[in-house]
Amino acid sequence: MKKYFHIWIYLTAASFQSFFVSRIGAVLFLSGKIFRFVFFLGFLILLVSRTKILAGYNLNQILIFYLTFNFIDSITQMLFREVYRFRSQVISGDFDLILLKPVNALFRVLFGGTDFLDFVTLLPLIIIIAYLIFQIPNISLLGIIIYIILIINALVISSAFHIIVLALAIFTVEIDNTIMIYRDVMSMGKLPIDVYREPIRSFITFAIPVGIMLTYPPRALFNLLHVHYLMIAFIFGSGFLLFSLLFWRFALKHYTSASS
């Protein structure tokens, strides 16, 4: 465990150094992300200020949904940046070099490019979420604890998704945009899933667990989530992670090193 922590620090430092190679590009990308966040936030405030209620939630609650989405999305992008480069490593044969090293290959391709540029967005998000939580009446300490646990569960599901994307990249080289599809589907969770009609709502709750990942935590915070949905969320999280790990092992067994 300690060894992997040191490796992660080393890889993250190397990834951070790459920021200095293309400073302007990195700053522009970060500015773009901040623009996108602020613009959509402004739009939600404009809209819900006019309607007062959206899908049964007031403005502060809607903002918590949006901020929770951004928080989970930022952490995911920060941690799993290397996944975006994996396909090219398979095609070029560079993945062989990773397999030969005395480090778990999944760890290397999942956490090998942690991007601390996204980290700067996390602290403001936490501060705004905390401020809004204090603005909403009747939020209990238990609600806050379950909210945090469900966010961790969302990160587990997100890890599983990224592992599946990695495994898929071994099987097929034609799917260029699998990870982008994941991100687009996840972006449906920047609004509460109550916004979507059936059967889309059920589909993005259970088939593609946007609801479990992004809507359940704020609902638990507002004391609107029944306990059996909590159980479903945790069972799904652990089951999905297990499935992704088995799928990864299965994919590795079928890796042919054809490109090297």
Partner 1 sequence: MKKYLKIISVSLQEYFAYKMNLIIWRLRIIISIMISYFLWDTVYQSKPVIFGYDISRMLTYFLLLFLVNSLVLNSQTFRIAEDINFGYLSNYLLRPLNYFLFVLSRDIADKFLNVIFSIVELIILISLLHPPVFYQENVLNIIFFITAIFIASILYFEIGIILSLIGFWSRETWAPRFIFFILVSFLAGVYFPLDILPQGLYSVLKLTPFPYLIFFPLKLYLGGIERTFISSGFFIMIAWIILLGFLVKKIWKKGLKIYTAEGL
Q: Is 181 in the site for partner 1 (CB under 8 A)?
A: yes
Which residues from 6-25 bind partner 1, rule CB under 8 A? Answer: 22, 24-25
Contacts of 41 (CB under 8 A, 6+ apart): 63, 66
Stretch that binds partner 1, among 83-91, 126-134, 146-154, 177-185 (CB under 8 A): 177-185
Give 31 or 135: the residue with its C-beta nearer to partner 1.
Answer: 31
Q: What share of the chain is helix, strand, coil (3-state, %, to 5)?
A: 80, 0, 20
Binds partner 1 (CB under 8 A): choice among 104, 176, 223, 235: 176
Question: CA angle at residue 187 from 250 to 50, to 5 degrees?
Answer: 165
Instruction: Identify the residue whose tokens are 């961790």.
Output: 152
Q: Is 53 in the site for partner 1 (CB under 8 A)?
A: yes
Give 174 or 228: the residue with its C-beta nearer to partner 1.
Answer: 174
Instruction: Identify the residue whose tokens are 């005395």.
Output: 102
Stretch that binds partner 1, among 30-38, 129-137, 226-234, 250-258 (CB under 8 A): 30-38
CB 190 within 8 A of CB 47: no
Provide φ and ψ at 175, rounded to 5°: -80, 100
CB 218 within 8 A of CB 65: yes
Total interface residues for partner 1 by CB under 8 A: 39
Enumerate binding residues for partner 1 (CB under 8 A): 22, 24-26, 28-29, 31-32, 35-36, 39-40, 43, 46-47, 50-55, 174-178, 180-181, 184-185, 187-188, 190-191, 194-197, 200
